Structure 1
Amino acid sequence: MDESTPAPATVPAPAAPVPAAAAESRGAVARRTRLTALIVACALFMQNLDSTVIATALPTMATAFGADPTHMNVALTSYLLSLAVFIPASGWMADRYGTRTVFRAAIAVFTLGSVLCGRADSLTFLVVARVFQGIGGAMMVPVGRLLLLRTVAKSELVAAMAWLSTPALIGPVVGPPLGGFIVTYFSWPLIFDINVPIGILGITLVTLFVEDVREPTSAKFDFRGLALSGIGLSSFMFGMETAGRGVVPPALTAAMIGVGVLCALLYWLHARRHPAPLLDFTLLRIPTFMVSVAGGTVFRIGIGAIPFLLPMMLQLGFGKSAAQSGMITFASSAGAIVMKPAAMSALRRFGFRDTLLVNAVISALLLALSAAFRPSWPLFAIYVVLLSGGFFRSLQFTAYNALAYADVPRERMSAATSLYSTIQQVSLTFGVSAGAGALVISMALSGNEAPQLPDFSWAFIAVSFISLTAAPLSLFMPRSAATEMSGHNG
């Protein structure tokens, strides 16, 4: 009907199907968004769980292999180093072969690596299998996030990212007690075999329900960049992992950190000349991406110390068993689950800048409150602090993860996920090192040969201060930042 044709005002029927169809379309998009987010979240949970579940099983595995238990830590570091080497290549791979194809292949590689780990009969076999498994994990994390970025509308991205923040918080907390339970009541290969049905289900769901999207690229693969970033990141992370722990000679730790810094400098010079570097630092010129990276890094460093400090304080300072401490630390994960429906409401009301500013302060204060924990505290009070802390930390992670991509052009999304995921991995390593370093310094100043409750208290205060420094970084963007995602009207 054109403008010259009169229509009876009392007959609105012809217009009725339009909003109904639009509502149906929006409902279908929302359902697909939730399904895609859930599929990606399950895969990321598998990866996060596996990276920590092995920790409590290492002594039992050492006995089975006839190996020195002190040497078993290489099974953890080999996986982390594999992640550091291959994460930078994930963006180029997704552009070249498609996000669905690469994500599905990553799940398959990770699952096959899990099978090989469960069949290991020596430490050498296990390390090789863990490196192979790490290749799959390195592709799953950033490509899974990229899959959401390319299939989800910006207005729904915050809700989708809430699904991704939850497994990242739950995995490190659930992993150690679950590993201890499996080793105690079953056999250690089961800690790897539980990934098999999850992996098969993930591959099936990705094939059936996830779209295959890609950005055409003619750029050649940056092999020199991969070598420099891989050597730099793995050396630096190895140095930070061993710093202050007495695992290797201090000279070796210092040398590895030095090699990492040198390779980072060489990579930076290389990236300035390369037309399509694997890690593109020019993305940091985007204010919202810079705030998310800088603020998220220091925030994660403080929060990343919790899985190291809290269980140790509960066991060494409170006299709790590993199982008891695991049930207490799980409370922070429960808080993260409760947060998911609240993230969108908070951002819509306050916007990204004010939410990140105030929430960082609240999260840091709740983390610092853990320093006051004592055996005389009612268990209920400890649960309240941990539940509240998990809620606000998860809100912060969700906001950072969504904000990072608010203003990134579509053609640079793959580069952004590679850089963001790499920095995330490094910051989590910093978190454990910061917690361990603060504990060692407190012990040295107090003259304690073994950590005492006051040492844990000072360590918690130190890492909470690191997280607190994320708050003022939010002021480097306007209140109107990322309003398309948050729906905030200022």
Structure 2
Amino acid sequence: MSDQTCHVAATSKGALQRPAPNFRIIAMIIASAMFMEQLDATVLATALPTMARDFGVSAPAMSIALTSYLLSLAIFIPASGRVADRFGSRTVFRTAIGVFILGSVLCAFAPNLTFLVFARLVQGLGGAMMMPVGRLVLMRSVERKNLVSAMSWLLVPALIGPILGPPVGGLIVTYLDWRWIFYINVPIGILGFILVSLFIEDFKGEARGPFDWTGLFLSGISLGSLLFGFEMASRSGEAGLAASLVAVGAMAGIAYLRHARRHPSPILDFSLMRIPSFSASVVAGSLTRITQGAQPFLLPLMLQLGFNLSAASAGAIVIATALGSMTMKAVAPKILRQFGFRNSLIVNGIISTFGYALCAAFRPDWPLPLIFVLLYFCGFFMSFQFTAYNTVAYDEIGRDQMSSATSFYTTFQQLMLSLGICVGALALHGSMLARDHDVPELGDFSVAFIIVTAISITATVWNMRFSNSAGADISGHQVKTTPRKA
């Protein structure tokens, strides 16, 4: 039975069914909401110095505007699946967009830093529900045969948002008021709210035991401390605080694991890691996201500090990776149909990782068009890798586990992207200390790129753990079988 058939059967008997929309429409509606969120997060970082002047505080003090959003994500992402089961995936996704819009408006009207922090917490609540529930809506609305194409459309905003953010933020701060960073979310969000209401069906899962309030508290402490710890570790002079936060996060995580063994329906269900394709995708995808998280941090800095390019020029070059990721969505289904998930992930994983490792060799005397082309292919191959991971992860997940799986997967996705920034920053600072200078030089960026890609290449070991038949009914790949000898 297809996902679409299951979905129709889940609705009330006798209800009049409207024709199912094209999967591309569903994917692009969800992708637009996620793009709004991803763009907002990176645009804000560019505007922090200007906002600090308006609020009469130092620029470093504005970092709490970023970390408060991370805190909200850490607390509420694990609960998203259970909330979607209880109230319906369309209802929660639509509400998440509304909450994000409300948070954006509050941010735009913020008269001081304290109010802005409160508004960012509200925004984070909406964002925490949008990411996993949006993916859950897609998984429940699209037939398995169209899942690869739909997921490739969905992945685009996650890749291009962090890349477009800095140049868009620079333009807004230069030519408009910084409050427009938040105002632009309103029309996008309202349009998304309307389209979700028109095109996306609702689905409620079955309640599986009492809500895990203790688990929500422990996971929030653990994930919030880890995210803040990773973020602080990327700054100079914050090593002690970062280490303390990571230690608190680790202890809370251990406490959560002990609690989860006893609870009938834990907020983060680690029993999902017993499912081969899901566990391999989580681990391999997490290792690969070290590079994906570090790249938007390292590359623009290298182009500005090492190549002496302006922020606008650097942004124009880095956008090549976004163009590459958009091109990928057209060819991903064909590649996976021909070679299958396992072979594609192994080969493409090596190519994509070494592509970003090549950034270590970039120098100012390289022709900029050549760098642009190389980054285009980096974006193409890395986008394909995450499309495959994000799809095959759910190959063996039952419909009753889908909400728990999307919450679990999105939680670790966010955690590892933050860790990637941390690893990139630590590698950069470590090289600067070893070479005894205060300003990063090209050689320091080379060391950082090599370190983050060396970590990500170890994902190959986990890619080899996928079975040859993993996701075969999703990709349409025909697995060759060796006939038995008589």
- What TM-score results when the alignment is normalised by the length of structure 1? 0.93
Q: Deviations over 1:343-363 (max 9, x none)?
A: 101100110000000011000
Q: Deviations over 1:263-295 (max 9, x none)?
A: 000000111110000100000111100111000
Q: 2:302 is matched with which residue: 281, 293, 313?
A: 313
Which residue in 1 is equivalent to 2:89?
99
2:130 to 140, 148, 160: 140
Deviations 1:96-133 (A, max 9, x none): 00000000000000011000000011111111100110
The match for 1:176 among 166, 183, 191 is 166
The alpha carbon displacement at 1:157 in A equals: 0.8
Aligned residue in 2 for 1:419: 408
**Alpha-carbon offset, residue 247 of structure 1:** 5.2
Aligned to 1:296: 285
The alignment status of 1:86 with 2:76, answered yes or no, reads: yes
Q: CA deviation at 1:30?
A: 8.1
Question: Hey, what does 2:223 align to over in structure 1?
Answer: 233
The residue type paired with residue 322 of structure 1 is: A
Residue 314 of structure 2 is aligned to residue 325 of structure 1: yes
Q: Which amino acid aligns with 1:242?
A: M
Shift of 1:84: 0.9
> 1:30 & 1:322 partners in 2: Cα distance?
45
Q: Does 1:44 align with 2:34?
A: yes
Q: Secondary structure at the match of 1:305?
A: helix
1:481 alignment partner, SS class: coil
Question: Are 2:132 and 1:156 equivalent residues in the alignment?
Answer: no
- Confirm or deny that 1:389 pairs with 2:394: no
Match of residue 340 from structure 2: 351
CA contact under 8 A between 1:154 and 1:406: conserved in structure 2?
Answer: no
Secondary structure at the residue paired with 2:464? Answer: helix
Deviation at 1:58, TM superposition (A): 0.5
- 1:448 Cα shift? 1.8
Question: Which amino acid in 1 is paired with 2:233?
Answer: A
Equivalence for 1:22:
none
1:223 is matched with which residue: 194, 199, 213? 213
Alignment pair present for 1:252 and 2:241: yes
| One-letter code aligned to 1:137 | G
SS at the partner of 1:214?
coil
Shift of 1:251: 2.8
Question: How much has 1:33 moved relative to structure 2?
Answer: 1.1
Alignment partners' CA distance in 2, 1:208 and 1:32: 13
2:77 paired with 1:59: no
Q: Does 1:130 align with 2:120?
A: yes
Instruction: Specify the SS of the correspondent of 2:177.
Output: coil
Matches within 5 A, 1:470-489: 470-489=459-478
Q: 2:209 and 2:200 mapped to 1: Cα distance?
A: 26
Which residue in 2 is equivalent to 1:71?
61
Which string of whole-angstrom CA distances, capped at 9 and with x for unpartnered residues, describes residues 185-242 of structure 1?
A: 0110001000000010011001111101121215221110000000111011111111
- The SS at the match of 2:363 is coil
The amino acid of 1:225's aligned partner reads: G
Cα distance, 1:32 vs structure 2: 2.4
| Conservation of the 8 A alpha-carbon contact between 1:371 and 1:457 | yes
Identical amino acids, percent of aligned pairs: 55
Partner in structure 2 of residue 23 of structure 1: none
TM-score (ref. length: structure 2):
0.94
The one of 430, 433, 456 equivalent to 2:422 is 433
Alignment RMSD: 1.2
Instruction: Decide whether the 8 Å contact of 1:95 with 1:215 is kept in 2.
Output: yes
Distance 2:419 2:399 in 1: 30
Is the contact between residue 303 and residue 467 of structure 1 (CA under 8 Å) also seen in structure 2?
no
In the other structure, the counterpart of 1:369 is 358
State how far apart, in whole Å, the 2-side matches of 1:457 and 1:246 are: 19
The one-letter amino acid of 2:158's match is: A
Does the aligned pair in 2 maintain the 1:353–1:479 contact within 8 Å? yes
Give the equivalent residue in structure 2 for 1:209: 199
Aligned-partner SS, 2:22? helix
Instruction: Provide the residue aligned with 2:190 in structure 1.
Output: 200
Does the CA-based 8 Å contact 1:95-1:414 persist in structure 2? Answer: yes
Between 438-447 and 113-122, the greater mean CA deviation after superposition: 438-447
The superposition leaves residues 86-105 of structure 1 with CA deviations (integer Å, 9 ceiling, x where unpaired) of 10000000000000000000
> What displacement does 1:262 show?
0.3
Query: Is residue 303–residue 463 contact of structure 1 (8 Å, CA) maintained in 2?
Result: no
Partner AA of 2:63 in structure 1: N
Q: Please state if 1:186 is matched with 2:176.
A: yes
Report what 2:255 is aligned to: 266
Report the count of equivalent residues. Answer: 462
Structure 1 residue aligned with 2:8: none
Shift of 1:369: 0.7
What residue number does 1:16 align with?
Answer: none
| Paired AA for residue 418 in structure 2 | T
* Aligned mates of 1:218, 1:376 — CA distance in 2: 61
Match of 1:466 in 2: 455
Say which SS state the counterpart of residue 235 (structure 2) adopts: coil
8 Å Cα contact 2:232/2:241 also seen in 1: no
Correspondence for 1:8? none
CA distance in 2, matches of 1:488, 1:78: 44
1:455 equivalenced with 2:433 (yes/no):
no
Per the TM alignment, residue 469 of structure 1 is displaced from its structure 2 partner at its CA by: 1.1
Equivalent residue letter for 2:100: F
